[in-house]
């Protein structure tokens, strides 16, 4: 329950940041290079925040444990990557770029592993809703 | 001694990562990274991974572009099901036999699959090369056939991009029969 709340709060915060970034870029007006980059950054931050929020809602609402894992692997990972992309466009600093790239890479590399470990444990401890299962070739 | 080559590649990656973490490339970071890499390789030896990969740029680009596209579709799909009022998604667990046998490529296929539309690896039978996949939001059996085909597509694209010549040959010599089971 709290996990979802944390994700939602985080998403709300990012929404605000994305909104401010986009508004700032628009206020600058003249479509200079930096203005465009800021605008794109705002868009990425917004989209990433919305996806993270959806992932949080999914964790709260989807019927079984295994379904919920889908929510924390896909919208969550893409949301995170979009936020990193937005940060890259906003910071425009080579020193930060390496760190952001690594965060993205490790997110991509570790999320599926976590998902598989939790998924397997969930399956073995009846975290799958049999009512909603069409076929099961693992049984 | 193929072990050597892998150690060097691993060390190279670690040095690169060390420099990226510090945020700039310098002689000091290069030396520090090398020391860390050697320490890691000496004190935390990993089981050997057979690297018999060929990088094929065009196929790799194809894999990357498709992967990004599928990650976006998957994310939007799951996000939509999550917020859709009063909808309960049905799911299924299917066994898919893969043609990859090397641990690394099997792992990479599983990684990619976990991030593309509606599939999640629940269990792996390494000896038989079978993945047990949880399919999210199933609507009828036609959907399962599509999922199976999509999983095989991911495997094929991955092998075309980085598979060993032997594995690529397997793709053409072992066309997979389409059936309800396996």
User: How far apart, in whole angstroms, are the C-alpha atoms of residue B70 and residue A92?
Assistant: 28
Q: pLDDT, tens digit, for every residue of A88-100?
A: 999 888 888 888 9
Question: Can you tell me which residue has the tokens 């390494």?
Answer: B126
**Does any CB of chain A come closer than 8 Å to the CB of residue B120?**
yes
The sheet with strand A133-136 has its strands ordered as A133-136, B91-97, B130-135, B119-125
Taking contacts as CB-CB distances below 8 angstroms, the residues of chain B near A91 are none
pLDDT at A50: 94
Would you tell me which residues 1-60 of chain B have a C-beta closer than 8 angstroms to some C-beta of chain A? 17, 19-24
Between A129-133, B18-22, B26-30, the lowest mean confidence (pLDDT) is in A129-133
Alpha helices of chain A — where are they, by DSSP H?
2-28, 33-61, 65-91, 94-124
Assess contact for B96 and B120: CB atoms under 8 A: no
Beta-carbon separation of A98 and B21 below 8 A: yes
Q: Are B131 and B149 in contact (CB under 8 A)?
A: no
Lowest mean pLDDT among A18-22, A47-51, B7-11: A18-22
In sequence order, the β-bridge partners of residue B131 are B96, B124
Answer whether B120 sits within 8 Å of A116, measured CB to CB. yes
Confidence of residue A84 (pLDDT cuts 50, 70, 90): very high
Q: What pLDDT was estimated at residue A139? A: 67
Q: Which pLDDT belongs to residue A12?
A: 52
Quote the radius of gyration of chain A (alpha carbons, Å).
18
> Which of A57, A77, A120 is closest, CB to CB, to B82?
A57
Q: Dump pLDDT digits (tens) for B109-167.
A: 888 888 776 788 888 888 888 888 888 888 777 778 888 888 888 888 888 888 877 77
Residue for token digits 């990562």?
A: B17
DSSP-assigned states of every residue in B11-41: HHHHHHHHHHHHTS--HHHHHHHHHHHHHHH
pLDDT for B37 beyond 70: yes
Given the structure tokens 């939001």, which residue do they identify? Answer: B137
């Amino acid at each position: 329950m709290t996990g979802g709340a944390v994700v939602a709060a985080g998403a709300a915060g990012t929404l605000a940041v994305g909104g401010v970034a986009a508004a700032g870029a628009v206020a600058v007006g003249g479509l200079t290079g930096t203005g465009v980059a800021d605008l794109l950054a705002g868009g990425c931050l917004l989209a990433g925040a919305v996806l993270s929020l959806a992932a949080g809602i999914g964790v709260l609402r989807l019927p079984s444990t295994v379904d919920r894992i889908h929510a924390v692997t896909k919208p969550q990972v893409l949301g995170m990557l979009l936020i990193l992309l937005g940060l890259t466009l906003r910071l425009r600093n080579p020193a930060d770029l390496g760190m952001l790239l690594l965060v993205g890479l490790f997110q991509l590399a570790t999320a599926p592993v976590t998902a598989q470990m939790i998924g397997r444990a969930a399956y073995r401890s009846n975290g799958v809703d049999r009512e909603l299962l069409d076929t099961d070739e693992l049984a | 001694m193929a072990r050597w080559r892998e150690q060097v590649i691993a060390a190279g990656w670690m040095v690169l990562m060390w420099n990226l973490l510090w945020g700039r490339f310098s002689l000091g970071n290069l030396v520090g990274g090398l020391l860390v890499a050697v320490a890691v390789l000496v004190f935390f030896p990993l089981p050997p991974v057979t690297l018999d990969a060929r990088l094929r740029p065009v196929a790799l680009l194809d894999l990357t572009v498709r992967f990004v596209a599928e990650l976006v579709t998957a994310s939007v799909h799951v996000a939509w099901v999550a917020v859709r009022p009063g909808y309960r998604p049905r799911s299924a667990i299917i066994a898919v036999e893969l043609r990859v046998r090397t641990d690394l490529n099997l792992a990479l296929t599983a990684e990619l699959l976990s991030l593309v539309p509606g599939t999640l690896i629940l269990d792996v039978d390494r000896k038989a090369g079978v993945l047990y996949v949880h399919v999210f939001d199933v609507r009828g059996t036609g959907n399962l056939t599509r999922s199976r085909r999509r999983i095989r597509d991911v495997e094929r694209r991955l092998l075309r991009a980085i598979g060993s010549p032997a594995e690529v040959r397997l793709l053409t010599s072992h066309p997979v029969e389409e059936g309800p089971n396996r």
